Structure 1
Amino acid sequence: MPLNLDDLSGYTVTALAADLDRWFADEERVDVGSDIRPVTDFLQLLPSADAAALAAFDTLVRSGRLAQFMDVYDWSYGFDFAANDCAVHGAEHVWALAADGSSNLYVVLPDGSIRIWFHEEETLEEGTGFDNLDVFLWTMVRYRATLDGSLELAEVEDDLRALGQPGVLHAELGLLASLT
């Protein structure tokens, strides 16, 4: 039976590290250094489950144990939009997680959802988001494992579709479109 969103609740806290060890044990580790601003203030804006997920992810990022399965770098993680004279039209507060490979950033919004900040227009892209960090990270791990050939698309495609995430299903920009 395909997954649903409730099945992934708590994934970042309980299962992300094991999945990264399984599929990315030999991958380079993220090193963001110590100058990244603290996530603490942003955590206060999130619903409790989303705050727990981001706190767990932040701990992995800063520990140097996170496999480089996404573009998490010192210039992308925790990117300070105001300090870099960048606007985020459509949201007052966001936390940057990683780059998407095209200078855009995956960001967490205060409601816990994940969106892509489109750098050219300094706006949040419509129709390509994720409901929360747990489903986003679960998806990105499997997306990268599929790209690397560690996982067959057929093994996860039904779950990816069943989760109903626009960032996966968008006809042109979704992750499935890039895998098929």
Structure 2
Amino acid sequence: MTPGSIFPYLMPTPSMLPDDTTGWDLDQSRAALLVLNLQRRFVRLLEQEAAPVTQLLANAGRLVSAAHTAGVPVIHSAHRDGEAFAEQVAPRTGDAVLTARKHSAFARTRLDSRLRDLKRDQVVIAGLFARVDVLMTAADAWVQDLEPFVVADAVADTSAGAHEFALEWVADTCGAVTSTDRVAAAFDPAVPAAEAV
């Protein structure tokens, strides 16, 4: 593996996001937060590639806190059992942790049935890796009649190109692309969902 640039790529800003064609409104009573692959070993890999790790963890941590405050279920997906999570998003009491066998968090896991049991049909997706795991999880959510929302500044990959590709592909095919600010506002019971996203 070759070290990346000494300058990290920049997280997308709201003005850089692809247009939403879904017409969906994020509703905290329908949503679950899905955190993908934010284990320390993956974070270290991104640091070597000069990805925007500080922003990723800050925004993902903010989403986890907002979800807990609002009573939105938080589900973590990891590729191996027992791996240490980044401190900012470490699972808390009541969070679910699933072991993913494939790139999609839905493949060979109980994620779909868990969401159905929780009566949640919207999935807010944060974490790694945008071009593969995030993209495939969003597509699988859509195939299963769920509404995926990918949080553009709370996902990352090893390059800006991979990150941008994932956001554009999701927006074009299967989901909504949003921002941490918008999701945090939607999770706040004082802010109507239609105004937040």
TM-score (norm 2): 0.34
- Larger RCO of the pair (alpha carbons < 8 Å, separation 6+): 2
TM-score (norm 1): 0.36
